[in-house]
């Protein structure tokens, strides 16, 4: 029996594994890098070991450091999570060699599925359907061009060692073949150090449907049905669901049987996923096998009622699978969305930085949140680090049918609020309301095909958002003046300088908006008026508001001149030109100094605790071949430094915390 598990991972997955360990009474050991000292996964573990600097290569990817941490703490097993070392055969081997249990497949199974061409040869033998194509050793241009003609155009050239779409070329006709081959080989060589390619029939609008399989060490294997992960951008999943919408029971069974055959062909043990492409006629073709637990496993848990991490641990202990195929049933429908720190408007550019405000939806039988960060601002606000994946959380919904599950997801997203790093929350809210998505009309080109509906042009802030911004600022002023509030304040109580009217000017990319507040009458930029009132709510940035009789539960978060207005599924980002602090610029004198643009830190001129003079250079960031010097805004003290020389930093990432 396993008594103590070391989790060789961080964040959301580390927290997820610990949840099951707690349930089973298994002790947990977290490992962490210097960037993760204050992370939730460290706090949640029974014990923790620091394994090195922020850079993953020197911490979460260091096999010797992780094994040493397991030895030191007396763990008897290691769970690799996903990403990092989870599909590294050398790691699985090293863990076993150290006399520890690897909670994952045998190294031989990881290796068997490691190469695209090699795995396809094995799958062909096991009678798992493959896309018509050539995946052999011969690589000369004439031969491959001949194969392409036999397959029939369009064909797809793929890097044999590849993944994630790198080294992929669609070829429409024979005359384009030679040039496309040269390009694919060059990209394969530079990305994977190996120019070997394979040729396949190009499927025009396939769906990505994957089967969850489980095998034990006694030769038993089952499938836990499928997940549809077609909604992706840049080969990154954004939304997953189970079961696949519209899939016939007959195809489901055929795919399940094929996936189990794939697992058995490589003597698989543990949790694995067999990925297929599915065409419009429900033909399915093997793509690859992921020899680990996957990010999207919760949707399978929601429709089967099982705990896949619990199964992984039991199988690793040598137990038989808890259930046989005939005992497994699909119950209802589940969705998962991945909340990322990224900017959809900038082609999903990954973001980073300190979370200023974060509220998750209430969890229930129908809503689950898997995350590695804490809600804010109860604490200091966790940091989404530039060193790791920018996923903030996964939000998972369940319903008795697809429509109900999707409605539950839409509501859960409306209850989710985040400020600080830019996030894809607005994009996700739009996605779950898209008519084609609602109708289950999805394939791997969904985001591209519906780009305009999903990523609309920036529109002017709504009147409600502007009024709520005014109320938020007035509420803040009230707190600063420490006036004890009556419920439903008369706004005129917070007038400044004896004027009859307060004037607020906000800006965003769409323009400038000025509102005036006089008593409870707010005049909008277009001259119309509304009646507005507010009442403080439980936490600092939140309040209840009534605008022309309609009620709002709002949050206004402010950092410097930057305002985030969040209310019932809406978010507006505004710049507030504060007349009392005119000329101070965007950054507060005390507070955070942030990167002016994405770039590389080339010098750090100060240390924590240093006393500095106004205008003294603190950090130099190189971007677009120019150096940008960040200087002290006033005489003060350096409280924290969040960057090292050589770090790649994103715009608005907090580099230095500064105190006057």
- The residues annotated with a catalytic role in the active site are 292
CB under 6 A: which stretch of 194-202, 372-380, 482-490, 582-590 binds ligand MV4? 194-202
Residue 591: burial class (beta carbons within 10 Å; 0-12, 13-18, 19+): middle
Q: What is the nearest approach in angstroms of ligand MV4 to the Cβ of residue 133?
A: 7
Query: Which secondary structure element, helix H or strand E, spans residue 485, and what is its range?
Result: none
Q: Which is nearer to ligand MV4, 7 or 442 (CB)?
A: 442
CA distance 601 to 599: 7
Q: What is the nearest approach in angstroms of ligand MV4 to the Cβ of residue 148?
A: 12
User: Please, which residues have CB within 8 angstroms of residue 281's CB and are 6 or more apart in sequence?
Assistant: none
Q: Which is nearer to ligand MV4, 195 or 200 (CB)?
A: 200
CA distance 48 to 26: 15
- 156 touches ligand MV4 (CB under 6 A): yes
**In terms of C-beta distances under 8 Å and separation of at least 24 residues, what long-range contacts does 164-167 make, across chains too?**
164/235, 165/234, 165/235, 166/191, 166/192, 167/191, 167/192, 167/197
Q: Which is nearer to ligand MV4, 299 or 618 (CB)?
A: 299
Q: Backbone phi, then psi, for 304, in 5-degree steps?
A: -110, -15
Per the CB < 8 A criterion, the answer to whether 263 and 215 are in contact is yes
Which one among 21, 44, 56, 203 touches ligand MV4, defined by CB under 6 A?
203
The 506-535 site mask, x for binding ligand MV4 (CB under 6 A), equals ------------------------------
Which one among 196, 208, 252, 570 touches ligand MV4, defined by CB under 6 A?
208
Q: Which is nearer to ligand MV4, 163 or 519 (CB)?
A: 163
Q: What is the nearest approach in angstroms of ligand MV4 to the Cβ of residue 13?
A: 21
CA distance 658 to 660: 7
CA distance 34 to 51: 8
- 160 touches ligand MV4 (CB under 6 A): no
DSSP H helices, 1-115, are: 11-24, 40-44, 63-73, 89-97, 107-112
CB under 6 A: which stretch of 19-27, 92-100, 107-115, 201-209 binds ligand MV4? 201-209
Q: Which is nearer to ligand MV4, 202 or 494 (CB)?
A: 202
In which residue are the tokens 């605790």 written?
609
**Two tokens at 142?**
């004439």
CA distance 463 to 567: 12
- 292 touches ligand MV4 (CB under 6 A): no
Q: Which is nearer to ligand MV4, 18 or 203 (CB)?
A: 203
CB under 6 A: which stretch of 122-130, 199-207, 561-569, 648-656 binds ligand MV4? 199-207
- What is the side-by-side strand order in the sheet with 611-612? 591-594, 654-659, 636-641, 611-612
Q: What is the nearest approach in angstroms of ligand MV4 to the Cβ of residue 439?
A: 20
Q: Which is nearer to ligand MV4, 64 or 165 (CB)?
A: 165
CA distance 342 to 164: 19
- 200 touches ligand MV4 (CB under 6 A): yes
Q: What is the nearest approach in angstroms of ligand MV4 to the Cβ of residue 149?
A: 16
CA distance 131 to 133: 6
CA distance 15 to 393: 11
CA distance 309 to 80: 11
Q: Which is nearer to ligand MV4, 170 or 362 (CB)?
A: 170
CB under 6 A: which stretch of 32-40, 186-194, 198-206, 556-564 binds ligand MV4? 198-206
CB under 6 A: which stretch of 87-95, 139-147, 200-208, 592-600 binds ligand MV4? 200-208
Which one among 8, 107, 287, 563 touches ligand MV4, defined by CB under 6 A?
287
Q: Residues in contact with ligand MV4, total (CB under 6 A)?
A: 15
Query: Which secondary structure element, helix H or strand E, spans residue 313, and what is its range?
Result: helix 308-316
Torsion of CA 134, 137, 141, 147, to 10 degrees: -20
CB under 6 A: which stretch of 86-94, 197-205, 483-491, 568-576 binds ligand MV4? 197-205
CB under 6 A: which stretch of 21-29, 202-210, 579-587, 590-598 binds ligand MV4? 202-210
Per the CB < 8 A criterion, the answer to whether 85 and 25 are in contact is no
Q: What is the nearest approach in angstroms of ligand MV4 to the Cβ of residue 297?
A: 18
Q: Which residues, numbered 534-593, are part of the site for ligand MV4 (CB under 6 A)?
A: none
**Cis omega (within 30 of 0) on the bond before 453?**
no
CB atoms within 10 A of CB 176: 15
Q: Which residues, numbered 93-132, are part of the site for ligand MV4 (CB under 6 A)?
A: 131
Q: What is the nearest approach in angstroms of ligand MV4 to the Cβ of residue 412?
A: 25
- How does DSSP classify residue 405? H
Query: Which secondary structure element, helix H or strand E, spans residue 460, and what is its range?
Result: none
Q: What is the nearest approach in angstroms of ligand MV4 to the Cβ of residue 441?
A: 16
Q: Which is nearer to ligand MV4, 235 or 320 (CB)?
A: 235
Per the CB < 8 A criterion, the answer to whether 307 and 224 are in contact is no
Q: What is the nearest approach in angstroms of ligand MV4 to the Cβ of residue 343?
A: 21
Q: Which is nearer to ligand MV4, 53 or 163 (CB)?
A: 163
Q: What is the nearest approach in angstroms of ligand MV4 to the Cβ of residue 344?
A: 17
The 442-471 site mask, x for binding ligand MV4 (CB under 6 A), equals --x---------------------------
Per the CB < 8 A criterion, the answer to whether 269 and 106 are in contact is yes
CA distance 273 to 192: 23
CA distance 483 to 466: 24
CB under 6 A: which stretch of 195-203, 211-219, 379-387, 471-479 binds ligand MV4? 195-203
CA distance 339 to 342: 9
Which one among 206, 256, 372, 463 touches ligand MV4, defined by CB under 6 A?
206
Sign of CA dihedral 461, 463, 468, 471: positive
Q: Which is nearer to ligand MV4, 441 or 533 (CB)?
A: 441
CA distance 525 to 522: 10
Q: What is the nearest approach in angstroms of ligand MV4 to the Cβ of residue 44?
A: 33
- 165 touches ligand MV4 (CB under 6 A): yes
Per the CB < 8 A criterion, the answer to whether 197 and 137 are in contact is no
Q: Which is nearer to ligand MV4, 156 or 541 (CB)?
A: 156
**Two tokens at 629?**
């010097």
DSSP strands (E only) in 139-220: 155-159, 169-171, 197-201, 207-215
Which one among 39, 62, 160, 232 touches ligand MV4, defined by CB under 6 A?
232
Q: What is the nearest approach in angstroms of ligand MV4 to the Cβ of residue 232?
A: 5
Residue ranges binding ligand MV4 (CB under 6 A): 131, 156, 163, 165, 200-203, 206, 208, 232, 235, 277, 287, 444
């Amino acid at each position: 029996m396993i008594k103590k598990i070391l989790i060789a991972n961080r964040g959301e997955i580390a927290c997820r594994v610990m949840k099951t360990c707690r349930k089973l009474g298994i002790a947990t050991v977290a490992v962490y890098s210097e960037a993760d000292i204050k992370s939730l996964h460290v706090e949640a573990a029974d014990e923790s070991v620091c394994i090195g600097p922020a850079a993953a290569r020197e911490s979460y990817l260091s096999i010797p450091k992780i094994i040493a941490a397991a030895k030191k703490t007396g763990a008897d097993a290691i769970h690799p999570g996903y990403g990092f070392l989870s599909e590294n055969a050398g790691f699985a081997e090293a863990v076993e060699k150290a006399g520890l249990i690897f909670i994952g497949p045998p190294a031989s199974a990881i290796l068997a599925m490691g190469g695209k061409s090699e795995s396809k040869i094995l799958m062909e033998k096991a009678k798992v359907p493959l896309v018509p194509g050539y995946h052999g050793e011969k690589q000369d241009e004439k031969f491959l061009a001949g194969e392409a003609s036999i397959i029939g155009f369009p064909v797809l050239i793929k890097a044999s060692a590849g993944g994630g779409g790198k080294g992929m070329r669609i070829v429409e006709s024979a005359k384009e073949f030679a040039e496309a081959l040269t390009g694919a080989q060059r990209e394969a060589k530079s990305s994977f150090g190996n120019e070997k390619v394979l040729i396949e029939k190009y499927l025009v609008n396939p769906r990505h449907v994957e089967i969850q399989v489980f095998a034990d060490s006694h030769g038993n294997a089952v499938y836990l049905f499928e997940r549809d992960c077609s909604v992706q951008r840049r080969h990154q999943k954004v939304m997953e669901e189970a079961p696949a919408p519209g899939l016939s029971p007959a195809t489901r069974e055929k795919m399940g049987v094929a996936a189990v055959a794939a697992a058995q062909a490589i003597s698989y043990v543990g949790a694995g996923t067999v990925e297929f492409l599915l065409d419009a006629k429900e033909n399915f073709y093997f793509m690859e096998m992921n020899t680990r637990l996957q990010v999207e496993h919760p949707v399978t848990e929601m429709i089967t009622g099982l705990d896949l991490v619990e199964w992984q641990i039991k199988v690793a202990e040598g137990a038989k699978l808890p259930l046989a195929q005939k005992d497994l049933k699909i119950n209802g429908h589940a969705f998962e969305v991945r909340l990322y720190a990224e900017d959809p408007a900038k082609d999903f550019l990954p973001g980073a930085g300190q979370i200023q405000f974060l509220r998750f939806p209430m969890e229930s039988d129908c809503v689950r949140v898997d995350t590695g960060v804490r809600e804010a601002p109860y604490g200091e606000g966790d940091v989404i680090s530039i060193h790791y994946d920018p996923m903030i959380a996964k939000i998972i919904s369940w319903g008795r049918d697809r429509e109900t599950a999707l409605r539950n997801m839409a509501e859960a997203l409306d209850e989710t609020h985040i400020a600080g790093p830019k996030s894809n929350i607005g994009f996700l809210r739009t996605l779950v309301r898209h008519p084609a998505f609602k109708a289950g009309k999805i394939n791997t080109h969904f985001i591209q095909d519906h780009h305009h509906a999903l990523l609309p042009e920036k529109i002017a802030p709504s009147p409600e958002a502007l009024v709520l911004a005014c109320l938020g600022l007035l509420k803040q002023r009230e707190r600063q003046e420490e006036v004890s509030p009556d419920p439903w304040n008369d706004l005129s109580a917070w007038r400044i300088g004896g004027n009859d009217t307060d004037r607020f000017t906000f800006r965003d990319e769409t323009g400038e908006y000025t509102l005036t507040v006089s008593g409870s009458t707010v005049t909008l930029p277009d001259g119309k008026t509304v009646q507005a009132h507010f009442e403080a709510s439980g936490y600092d940035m939140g309040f209840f508001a009534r605008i022309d009789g309609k009620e709002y539960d709002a949050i206004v978060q402010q950092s410097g001149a930057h305002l985030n207005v969040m209310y019932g599924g809406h978010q507006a980002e505004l710049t507030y030109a504060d007349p009392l602090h005119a000329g101070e610029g965007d950054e507060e004198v005390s507070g955070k100094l942030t990167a002016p643009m994405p770039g590389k830190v080339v010098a750090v001129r100060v240390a924590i605790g240093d006393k500095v003079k106004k205008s003294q250079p603190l950090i130099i960031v190189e971007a677009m071949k120019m150096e940008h010097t960040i200087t002290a805004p006033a005489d003060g003290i350096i409280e924290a430094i969040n960057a090292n020389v050589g770090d790649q930093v994103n715009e608005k990432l907090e580099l230095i915390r500064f105190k006057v």
